[in-house]
Amino acid sequence: TALGGKRVAIAEEFRVGGTCVVRGCVPKKFMVMASEVSHALEIAEGYGWSFDSAKFDWPTFLEAKDVEIARLSGIYAANLGKAGVDLIHGRAVLKDAHTVEIAGKGEDGGPLVITAEKILIATGGRPWVPADLPGVEHAITSEEAFHLPELPKRILIAGGGYIAVEFAGIFAGLGVETTLIYRGPNILRGFDDDVRAHLAGEIEKRGIKVILGCQHTSLEKTATGIVNHLENGMALETDVVMFATGRVPHVKDLGLETAGVALNDDGAIKVDAFSKTTADNIWAIGDVTDRMNLTPVAIREAVAFHETVWRDTPTAFDYEAVATAVFSQPPVGVVGLSESEARHVCKGEVDVYVARFRPMKYAFTGSDERVLMKLVVDATSQKVVGVHIVGPEAPEMIQLAAIAVKAGLTKAQWDATCAVHPTMAEELVTLKEKQSPTTSAG
Ligand code: NDP
């Protein structure tokens, strides 16, 4: 029996750790950190350092990263063992609401059949690409980007969401000629408009070519690379093309129908506020339910499931004021409402405070990069309902700002907090001038 006194088994067809550890957040962040070094070197030169033979070796990095990912995955597997969980390496398929079959894992190599009182589905998501686009089979997704046999000289990334923007930064920082193409008017749809505009400008300063309002018409493999034929008539050859056009819940061939587990209109497992599916004894959490596709959210959904189902304390995770970070270069940190969301939600007036400044760190460099900090305040209650930061260390800052937003503190309470000087974050407690409504982005 496991820690809670229950008999628990987990079926995992690949490596333990899931998207986050194996092909998401964790290896991505290592890639970002490898990439950011080039920028740090540029800054260092302004401070008097010189690096005559600085060079980056992709295979060395890949190996170090893979060793670390294997170590982390091993720790997760070991922790399951310590907790008393049976880990079965195989693919689980539901046969009915209480029966799971795992091919090849039974005696004599037949299927292993397990019955369970309760079942939890956490199969995550998979990259999605427009399958009807001619030549799309020549493109990779983020999954392959973690294992490219060599660093390309030229890459084109399609999409304007988290993954597209993060990988564009990674490759550009590593010296790859990088083009980002996005169908909409600006990257990061759903984020605050000032953040979107600011980031688009900043990533161009870092050398990424951004093409907006445009899509592929086809991809064509040639002897020297892949030609991207675009709607605007351009034909752009690159060595690698990566599609980051979204992810879809991983529900295929799980036997959901047989078990009475229904999907919603978007193809995700339909769940109630307590993560219960349409089958009475089956729950689902994480990306497979497509609620808020972030690792810490999935963990909270798991905790709420445990409280609800095993501790008799019905608990629904509260999705309000969940902070998030985009590990672009520079990165973005956001918590709460964008200005336009706030104008809808806070029926009354919204106060907006914006600061744009050059980080002190760049004083000796030729860089004209700017940091953006923006507070969105409900004018009636004076609560700070949104914080938006684009700039170095934004993800670290937003975690702390999120405490104040989650606690519902007012602008006056933020201002009563004394600054830490000299920092970038001190701007957050010293913003005095309200932005006039005419200049604020909608
Ligand atoms: P997103 O949903 O964030 O972005 C998908 C992008 O692809 C959008 O820009 C979308 O455009 C575009 N797109 C969709 N369909 C097409 C199409 N047919 N042709 C061209 N473009 C298309 O997905 P990602 O794959 O970037 O990431 C998936 C999710 O994973 C994120 O939303 C996030 O929840 C999570 N994630 C979180 C990270 C973090 O916390 N740092 C990092 C990476 C992922 P449009 O906007 O016009 O719809």
Lowest mean pLDDT of 2-11, 322-331, 364-373, 396-405, name the range: 2-11
User: What is the reported pLDDT for 316?
Assistant: 98
d(CA 36, ligand 1 centre) in Å: 23
Q: Give the span between the Cα atoms of 119 and 166, in whole angstroms.
A: 35
Q: Is the pLDDT of residue 308 over 80?
A: yes
Q: How far apart are CA 336 and CA 123, in angstroms?
A: 28
- The one-letter amino acid at 83: A
Mutate-to-test residue for ligand 1 from 163, 214, 219, 322, highest number of ligand atoms within 8 A of CB: 163
Res 203 pLDDT > 90: yes
Whether the CB of 246 sits within 6 Å of ligand 1: yes
Q: Which atom of ligand 1 is nearest to the CA of 326?
A: 41
Closest residue by Cα to residue 255 from 361, 98, 410: 98
- Nearest residue to 365 via CA among 389, 392, 388: 392
pTM as predicted: 0.96
CA-proximal residue: ligand 1, atom 14 (nearest): 245
Q: Is 126 in the pocket of ligand 1 (CB under 6 A)?
A: no
Given 3-state DSSP classes, what are the helix, strand and coil percentages for the chain, each rounded to the nearest 5?
35, 25, 45
Instruction: Look over the chain and give the mean of its residue pLDDT values, rounded to a whole number.
Output: 96
> Mean of the pLDDT values across residues 269-274?
98
Mean pLDDT across the stretch 174-189? Answer: 98
Q: Map residue 133 onto helix, strand or coil.
A: coil
Q: Provide the pLDDT for residue 437.
A: 67
Region 116-144: mean pLDDT is 98
Instruction: Report residue 190 as tokens.
Output: 């759903």
Ligand 1 close to Cβ of residue 293 (< 6 A) = yes
Half-sphere exposure in the Cβ direction for 379 (13 Å, CA) = 13
Decide: 294 in ligand 1 pocket, CB within 6 A: yes
Report whether pLDDT(438) > 70: no
Give 183's pLDDT tier (boundaries 50, 70, 90). Answer: very high
pLDDT of 439 over the 90 cut: no
Mean pLDDT in residue range 161-189: 98
Structure confidence at residue 347 (pLDDT)? 83
Q: What is the mean pLDDT of residues 236-246?
A: 98
pLDDT for position 130: 98
Q: Give the nearest ligand 1 atom to 325 CA.
A: 41
Question: Which pLDDT score is estimated for 22?
Answer: 96
Average pLDDT of span 130-152: 98
- 284-294 pLDDT tens trace: 999 999 999 99
pLDDT per position as a tens digit, 209-240: 999 999 999 999 999 999 999 999 999 999 99
CA dihedral 75, 76, 81, 83 (to 10 degrees): 110
DSSP three-state, residue 93: strand
State in Å: Cα 161 to ligand 1 middle: 4
Beta strands 247-249 and 282-284 are unpaired
Q: Are 337 and 345 in contact (CB under 8 A)?
A: yes
Domains identified in the chain and CATH numbers: 2-126+248-310 (3.50.50.60), 136-245 (3.50.50.60), 324-439 (3.30.390.30)
Under the banding of pLDDT at 50, 70 and 90, the label for residue 346 is: confident
Output the CA–CA distances (angstroms, integers) from residue 143 to 85, 110, 337, 403, in the order listed: 28, 31, 31, 33
pLDDT category of residue 2 using cuts at 50, 70 and 90: confident
Catalytic residues: 421
Which of 142, 143, 247, 319 has the most ligand 1 atoms within 8 A of CB, as the residue to mutate? 247
Residues 6+ apart with CB under 8 A from 347: none
- 87 CA to centre of own chain: 27
Average pLDDT over residues 232-254: 97
Q: What is the mean pLDDT of residues 85-90?
A: 95
Cβ atoms of 199 and 180 closer than 8 Å: no
Q: Which of 361, 360, 329, 357 is nearest to 43 (CA)?
A: 361
Residue minimizing CA distance to atom 13 of ligand 1: 245
What is the pLDDT, as a whole number, of residue 442?
A: 42
Say yes or no: CB of residue 327 within 6 Å of ligand 1.
Answer: yes
Q: Among residues 48, 8, 20, 106, which one has the least CA distance to residue 287?
A: 20
**Which residue reads 């956490």 in tokens?**
122
Judge if the beta carbon of residue 245 lies within 6 A of ligand 1.
yes
Q: How confident is the model at residue 440 (pLDDT cuts 50, 70, 90)?
A: very low
